[in-house]
Structure 1
């Protein structure tokens, strides 16, 4: 197919982000006991230096940041926050490195990508305070690739390899080099037996995915909701794979911090407490309808409320004749009784191992040292304890990826890479 030049991911960060202001407090805020703490457990008052700018990309999984503002949780913990929409992950990266953003909704692996040089600025640190969500991303293909629909990986791989053999290799879009969506796409291709070197992989900002595929710039994309659902709703694409089908309860977005801001411990802890409360509120399914209405607004995600709501509730119209699939308990999750929110070294090492496996890094990094440098696990444990939440005891526990049943031992990533070669 003839493709136009895709929209480049080079958007500059606004120099003076606008204050979103206080939103209406939802009366339903008090309905979730897990999101409520006694006044006696609130942190002591502290002198906040200035309003905290927290970035987000228009994706459904920005919800815990947005709802922490909308439900008044940031004010509850004594911090003034500006929730600031961003145009691309590159803009978020630049804002966090420059300090224009103090914190942001962020791809789990973006700090790893930046630090190792896959996504620019090698050696620059973007600390990870906590995980925001599991699951809820999707690989979407154009309706012209309907032969690749379904859960049979051999059938789907054969359809894509046939395109390659006919010199019609597909172009596939991801959201940031070495980001979660880049890794999900490459992992899926490898599991199907498709050489990643034979397809085009380009970078497009999340909100521009549907428009770019509609005009023929690419044949598929991997991104967070609601954009996979929007493509199905508009009849231009179908869901080939959800990421919960790839790896159930995988880490997806995190609260990433500016390095200097990460040292302002009291303020960081207050932000984390607010987001933990919002995460628990969101995992009460009746609250998701209210959240869908709020985050669908133009100032946030700017997408149809019903599309956001359906996939938040686990109801997926898959497209391409696949019907409706119901995900319950493995749709997008924000808390899972705080099982979601702990940053785990094993997960960071897994992403770094994929960089080596897929050739994004030519040699293995010091896996443990990179994970130790970027993950604020001690601070998370302290915040969780103060909130009365249990910290999972699986920080370095081996696990199995759902899609291809590959076992990963974070203490021996070299053996994993050797045992799981990619097709060439």
Structure 2
């Protein structure tokens, strides 16, 4: 009898141990499944922070936010107004910003050490706009420098040298405004090493010119128009006069964000593309000017923003007005704007060599391949039915000096300074 009880007890004990083991296993599996589901939900709902600088061309991000395009794609997005391009750079690199409205040239500048720690990666997801920047000169140049022409610039600079050191401002070393300024000086026959070039954040340009800190600046709108309206300067040349339909701002993203949250990044891009399409409907531009002019964004008069958004340029300095009919600021242009071309990245890198930012040529293709997320844009475009341009890596001509650039042989046609 004792043997039977002993056997029954042993059987009961074995069954209990098996039950406990199975329960723990099932509980662990359930916990893991719950944990996995929670992580997926957390990732999908994690807030995305996008930076902007107070410029008219921040509009695609602002409109995507204000018109609900981000929410349409299930995203919670915060727009963070930043004080300078250096702030934008630092916050993208640290991940404080997942992405930003950013100078197209900045990722190349930072990666090569021109405008940051060499080797630091910021990735270009798409282009936000073409055109819409300008070189504004102080009233001291009035009458000596014709609109849209380089004639007289060198002589006017030499004339100024008899009184003071000519000083020009841009917004970030190796950025778009810096390169437009240096390209213009070179095309005008002015040695960049014989004038002073300083860095000023875009919203501070007008105030600095007003107190005489510089004699000219290159920046995006609306600050060129604001300078005209305040009577402190005139528009000498727009960036579309330098290079029609050039790349200007880009959606630039944090490396980790592009690597680990690819699908969220694609949703951001889709929302921004919808904002870009909305902006290219000219009937929407008055409303766009009112929205982006608000203190939380550009903080400038809507009428000043709207005028140049519509292509109507009051030049100042008794030069009258000029209307751009097909090369005002463009945000989509049937997809021609938004495609990030590697050829354009190679051009920027080549200008760094030309203007002595780099002592030797980088591996152009390797850098462009690393920093431009062309494959991601191609996926997004296909999913949205947007046609991809087929002109990348083809030679193109810069309008200001009629120089042709071949991205397949960048150093072969390197222009003289």
Give the TM-score taking structure 2 as reference length: 0.89
Q: Secondary structure at the match of 1:177?
A: coil
Distance in 2, Cα, partners of 1:193 & 1:286: 41
Cα deviation, residue 155, structure 1: 1.6
Match of 2:171 in 1: 175
Distance in 2, Cα, partners of 1:48 & 1:177: 36
Match of 1:209 in 2: 205
Distance in 2, Cα, partners of 1:255 & 1:151: 29
Q: Secondary structure at the match of 1:330?
A: coil
Distance in 2, Cα, partners of 1:152 & 1:339: 27
Distance in 2, Cα, partners of 1:163 & 1:363: 34
Q: Is the 8 A contact 1:150 1:156 kept in 2?
A: no
Q: Is the 8 A contact 2:148 2:238 kept in 1?
A: no
Match of 2:406 in 1: 409
2:317 to 310, 315, 320: 320
Match of 1:303 in 2: 300
**Bigger-Rg structure (1/2):** 2
Cα deviation, residue 46, structure 1: 9.4
Q: Is the 8 A contact 1:148 1:157 kept in 2?
A: no
Match of 1:190 in 2: 186
Q: Secondary structure at the match of 1:83?
A: strand
Distance in 2, Cα, partners of 1:66 & 1:189: 33
Trace 1:20-419 onto structure 2 (pairs within 5 A): 47-146=43-142, 147-164=144-161, 166=162, 168-263=164-259, 264-417=261-414
Cα deviation, residue 163, structure 1: 2.4
Q: Secondary structure at the match of 1:293?
A: helix
Q: Secondary structure at the match of 1:96?
A: helix
Distance in 1, Cα, partners of 2:156 & 2:210: 21
Q: Is the 8 A contact 2:133 2:238 kept in 1?
A: yes
Distance in 1, Cα, partners of 2:159 & 2:345: 35
Unaligned runs of 5+ in 1: 1-44
Cα deviation, residue 375, structure 1: 0.2
Cα deviation, residue 328, structure 1: 1.4
Match of 2:8 in 1: none
Q: Is the 8 A contact 1:148 1:160 kept in 2?
A: no
Cα deviation, residue 156, structure 1: 2.2
Cα deviation, residue 151, structure 1: 2.9
Cα deviation, residue 47, structure 1: 4.6
Distance in 2, Cα, partners of 1:272 & 1:124: 23
Cα deviation, residue 149, structure 1: 3.8
Q: Is the 8 A contact 1:160 1:169 kept in 2?
A: no
Q: Is the 8 A contact 1:400 1:408 kept in 2?
A: yes
- Aligned in 2, Cα 1:46/1:406: closer, same or farther, shift over 3 Å? farther
Unaligned runs of 5+ in 2: 1-40
Distance in 2, Cα, partners of 1:320 & 1:339: 35
Give a deviation string over 1:35-83, Cα, whole Å, max 9, x none.
Answer: xxxxxxxxxx995151000000000000000000011000001111001
After superposition, the CA RMSD in angstroms is 1.3
Q: Secondary structure at the match of 2:276?
A: helix
Distance in 1, Cα, partners of 2:154 & 2:295: 38
